[in-house]
Amino acid sequence: MTQSNLGLIGLAVMGSNLARNFASRGFRISVYNRTNSKTNEFIKNFSSSAKKQGGALVGASEYTEFIQSLERPRKIIIMVKAGSPVDGVIAELLPHLEPGDIVIDAGNSFYKDTERRFLELKAKGLHFVGMGVSGGEEGALNGSSIMLGGAPESWRELQPALEAIAAKDFSGEPCVTYVGPGGAGHYVKMVHNGIEYAVMQMMSEAYAFLKIAYNLKPPAIADIFEKFSQGKLNSFLFDIAVPVLRRPDDLTKKGFLIDKILDRAGSKGTGAWASKDALDRGISITSITEAVYARSISASKESRVALSKLYKNKLAPKKLPLPKFIPLLENALYAGMISCYAQGYDLIQKTATEEKWDLNLAEISRVWEGGCIIRAKLLNVLHKAYQTSGSKNSSLFAVPGIVSLMKKYVPDLRAVVGVVSASGVSTPALATALFYFQDATSKELSANFIQGLRDYFGAHTYERTDRPGNFHTNWIS
């Protein structure tokens, strides 16, 4: 019997598209799904096209059959709901596996779960890989950005197959990289998702101001965003913002769909994971966390409606003429996004140091150039800036190519935050992007004042500017 190159468990949208992607690149892939009818349907729908593309899809209704169909060492991708289902699938697989086999969790697992699974399987002579996959269902089918965590030998074993299905970066190289051991791949994917939250929040703040202060209709905002996406803000998210804003409401046949969508944002929690982890590690990722908070407050629709009746907040737009404001906004978003990447990269670096991962921020920026949700021209700028500076891991604000950009665009970020805040429209992500930059690049902050208060009420001591040591003052005497 011809054996399959790979196995995949979980045929929901991500798993089925990933399996089709492998098959379209000539791989033979065995698939299994808990609910067997989905396997049968999948094989019925896609096996003949896979064959035409030079690959093969092989359905299995039981684990024994599935495992027997795989060449050794077995490479099994798990693409099921994150959390306990992943542990359940691993437990079911274990009796069938042999030392050297590689189990790959390609879902959005929390990196600490991945660390635990890595160690548990290592103790049994098995390899476990935590693989961050970004790009949604379209990326899974046509090319994702892939961040792999696990043992280097697992990476070497998987590299050819993953390079075949990954998206391409700006130079045509595959958007897949070995990030580091254990949970490193899922960690970097978690921070990617946090950055995604912040970028989307900044875009929504720009949308809100254009809508409220300038009274622009969705297609007019789409026109502005379309121009942005043809320039330095070129990105997948700005590209898709255009059809989202232009879409008429098919249901009522009146107006635009965006105006009918309830202003209550959902989330799957990965932004909050990044924020909690940053708090635990003492790293500031304010724009990412503000984006998480913005979704939380959006969820309180009923309360917001009730309170709005009490306060009747009047917006007093202090606006610039629109042609003057648009380039300022474009520059502000650009500086804000760089600041947001600086926050995410700072978190990645701190974690890499604490966990002893040898990460490379040029390489991480590179694999985000294609396939993933945050793919953008800016990622190529960050990749090249890190590469040119020769520094793998310095603060983004210290990288020479970025210093000149921030010097150029931060004044416009400051102007936009001022104008928008004065008008009564909230800009939590853009404002904190500015504040983060200001504080991270300030010689002096106001923390001396905090230390004075802490020493007064709690004898917490303070350090002095003019001599070493810890000091306490008897403030009452």
Ligand X SMILES: NC(=O)c1ccc[n+]([C@@H]2O[C@H](COP(=O)([O-])OP(=O)(O)OC[C@H]3O[C@@H](n4cnc5c(N)ncnc54)[C@H](OP(=O)(O)O)[C@@H]3O)[C@@H](O)[C@H]2O)c1
Beta-strand pair 75-78/56-59? unpaired
Sketch the per residue contact string, 76 through 95, with ligand X: x for CB under 6 A, - otherwise: ---xxxx--x--xx------
Nearer to ligand X, 38 or 232 (CB): 38
Q: Is position 248 an interface residue for ligand X (rule: CB under 6 A)?
A: no
Only one of the segments 4-12, 94-102, 176-184, 325-333 lies at the binding site for ligand X (rule: CB under 6 A); that segment is: 4-12
Between CA 188 and CA 180 the distance in angstroms is: 10
Residue among 55, 59, 107, 271 that touches ligand X (CB under 6 A): 107
Q: Is position 33 an interface residue for ligand X (rule: CB under 6 A)?
A: yes
Question: Cβ 40 to ligand X, closest distance in Å?
Answer: 12
Question: Cβ 111 to ligand X, closest distance in Å?
Answer: 13
φ, ψ for residue 78 (rounded to 5)? Answer: -100, 125
The CA-atom distances, in angstroms, between 64 and each of 75, 93, 113, 434, 472 are 15, 9, 26, 56, 69
Q: Is position 14 an interface residue for ligand X (rule: CB under 6 A)?
A: yes
Nearer to ligand X, 71 or 137 (CB): 137
Per the residue annotation, which of 189, 232, 290, 369 is the catalytic one?
189
Q: Is position 11 an interface residue for ligand X (rule: CB under 6 A)?
A: yes
Q: Read off the tokens for 426.
A: 């909230």
Nearer to ligand X, 10 or 182 (CB): 10
User: Which residue, judged by CB position, is nearest to ligand X in the bound state?
Assistant: 107
* Helix-strand-coil split of the chain, %, nearest 5: 60, 10, 30
Question: Cβ 167 to ligand X, closest distance in Å?
Answer: 13
Residue among 25, 34, 116, 281 that touches ligand X (CB under 6 A): 34
Residue among 4, 8, 15, 387 that touches ligand X (CB under 6 A): 15
Nearer to ligand X, 34 or 414 (CB): 34
φ, ψ for residue 174 (rounded to 5)? Answer: -65, 140
Pick the closest to residue 121 from 93, 161, 85 (CA basis).
93
Residue among 70, 121, 133, 378 that touches ligand X (CB under 6 A): 133
- 98 catalytic? Reply is no
User: C-alpha angle with apex 470: 469 to 476, nearest 5 degrees?
Assistant: 140
Between CA 367 and CA 375 the distance in angstroms is: 9
Q: Is position 61 an interface residue for ligand X (rule: CB under 6 A)?
A: no
Between CA 384 and CA 337 the distance in angstroms is: 16
Q: Is position 21 an interface residue for ligand X (rule: CB under 6 A)?
A: no
Q: Is position 240 an interface residue for ligand X (rule: CB under 6 A)?
A: no
Q: Read off the tokens for 116.
A: 């635990």
Between CA 414 and CA 438 the distance in angstroms is: 10
- Burial per residue of 263-284, b for 16 or more beta-carbon CB atoms within 10 angstroms, e otherwise: eebeeeebbbbbbebbeeeebb
3-state secondary structure of 286: helix
DSSP labels, 42-70: HHHHHHHHHHHTT-EEEE-SSHHHHHHTB
Q: Is position 12 an interface residue for ligand X (rule: CB under 6 A)?
A: yes
- 196 catalytic? Reply is yes
Number of residues that bind ligand X (CB under 6 A): 22
Q: Is position 108 an interface residue for ligand X (rule: CB under 6 A)?
A: yes
Nearer to ligand X, 54 or 88 (CB): 88
Only one of the segments 73-81, 204-212, 332-340, 428-436 lies at the binding site for ligand X (rule: CB under 6 A); that segment is: 73-81
3-state secondary structure of 311: helix
Only one of the segments 12-20, 294-302, 375-383, 435-443 lies at the binding site for ligand X (rule: CB under 6 A); that segment is: 12-20
Only one of the segments 114-122, 129-137, 213-221, 359-367 lies at the binding site for ligand X (rule: CB under 6 A); that segment is: 129-137
Q: Is position 38 an interface residue for ligand X (rule: CB under 6 A)?
A: yes
Q: Is position 40 an interface residue for ligand X (rule: CB under 6 A)?
A: no
Nearer to ligand X, 145 or 339 (CB): 145
Only one of the segments 133-141, 320-328, 391-399, 435-443 lies at the binding site for ligand X (rule: CB under 6 A); that segment is: 133-141
CB count in 10 Å sphere of residue 441 = 14
Nearer to ligand X, 41 or 157 (CB): 41
Contacts of 89 (CB under 8 A, 6+ apart): 9, 10, 78, 80
Instruction: List the interface residues with ligand X, window 436-455 (CB under 6 A).
Output: none
Strand ranges of the sheet holding 6-9, from the earlier edge strand across to the other edge = 56-59, 28-32, 6-9, 75-78, 102-105, 127-134, 145-149, 176-180
Between CA 1 and CA 440 the distance in angstroms is: 61
- How far, in whole angstroms, is CA 237 from its chain's centroid? 12
Question: Cβ 354 to ligand X, closest distance in Å?
Answer: 25
Site for ligand X, rule CB under 6 A: 10-15, 33-35, 38, 79-82, 85, 88-89, 107-108, 133, 136-137
Active site residues: 189, 196
